[in-house]
Amino acid sequence: MMTRKAKRITADEAAALVRPGMWLDYGAVLGQPDAFDTALGRRIGPLSGIKIRSCIAPRPRAVLEADPEGKHVHWFSTHFGGYDRKKHDAGMAHYLPVNLGEIPDYYRRFIDPVDIAIVKTAPMDANGYFNFGPANLWLRALVERAKVVIVEECAAMPYVMGVSTGVHISEVDYIIPGDGQAMPELPKGAVTDVDRAVARLIAGEIDDGACLQIGIGGMPNAVCSLLAESSISDLGIHTEMMTDGIVDLYRAGRISGSRKQIDTGKIACTFAMGSKYLYDFIDHNAQVEFHPVDHTNLPHVIMQNDNVAAINNTTQIDLQGQAASESDGFRHISGTGGQLQFVRGAYASRGGKSFICLASTYDKRGERRSRIVTALTRGNIVTTPRTDMMYVVTEYGLVNLKGRTVAERAKLLISIAHPDFQEELERDAHHHKLIPQGYF
């Protein structure tokens, strides 16, 4: 490890280090810099060919707002949030396809060294470490591979416990002060009747001692709410994202982690995003361990816990069981994230179950459409292949596709589609010979 001598400078002085054509890295989610970004936005005009790698921008980025025509900055994201999606629609942001759990390896093996990494951290602790806070992910690999490392101190950043949770001052080139903003919060979406119906079906499959992975969205949140109100006990958590719903489950006494085979007794995650309620809970909380994403997300690690239950959303599924969870045709909307890795890790777990959930319909331009379709929308990206699909859940039922023929899959998926679309789907399935003539 190269020893560096950190120097305290201003955000404007840090932004002055950027030269045309450089690769910058803003890290991920709540670890993305704000003071540096604002300073770089002020001087972006003379620069060209700046490439910035990130993941889920939690608030608008000054460099993009200062370059509305995209003449100076190219923004690359490993997962889109709402802001990234808006900029992608405007032709200013680009998706970098990844399995999230593999990203540390990408930095160490395949991504050229980063010119400047800028990471927002908690203020330096008594041991000389800048804590990554709730954005562990691949930041350890990033700082190892960066030519220049800048940390932006943020007094509001929760200090988290776990493994590889920070960078030592001896690895840092420059330290800049933060801008004093509070942490960005992710509003907790309203839970619908459809969410509750899906959640009831999934909750009925969760046993005492199960180890949960909870994805983002209304349906996984509804599962947390139902389980918190149930009599279930000794749940474990091994998840990618720590959420408000998991805090609710813990405070309801449903989580002990006592039956986990690894990280026993601990809530294991790699990042968190939610409300101040969540940030206050994880701050200096030894019950919650933040690990690099290759620990939380790689299937061979996930499977080491028994009875893993992975709960994730999709937006469209075809009659063979392919789930498209990250795009709307050629329009990119989110990312592969950890979905496929948790589907595989849960299935490989002894007694494990994977649930892909979705509402049966959605509205587009005032027209109600089915999310279960004969064939995926042209251009849609397959996130979870048909061969990996286990449980699929809508408000109309829960089916297991493992070991099922193409015809059986089609019949099962049609059975949980909205009733208004079932006849059309069955007719199409026969027309395309997904269901053979005379099949019952």
Q: Which residues are catalytic?
A: 240
Nearest of 343, 293, 285 to residue 313 by alpha carbon: 343
Nearest of 63, 142, 54 to residue 95 by alpha carbon: 54
* Ramachandran quadrant class, 396 (left: phi over 0; alpha: psi -120 to 50; beta: rest): alpha
Q: Which residues of 202-218 are buried (b: 16+ CB within 10 A; e: fewer)?
A: bbeebeebbbbbbbbbb
Residue 32: phi and psi, rounded to 5, are -80, 140
327's CB contacts (< 8 A; 6+ apart) are 333, 379, 380, 381
396's CB contacts (< 8 A; 6+ apart) are 360, 415, 416, 417, 418, 419
Q: Say how far apart CA 291 and CA 240 lie, in whole Å.
A: 9
Instruction: List helix spans (H) across 332-376.
Output: 339-348
Cβ–Cβ under 8 Å, residues 39 and 12: yes
Q: Say how far apart CA 97 and CA 143 lie, in whole Å.
A: 21
DSSP label at residue 387: G
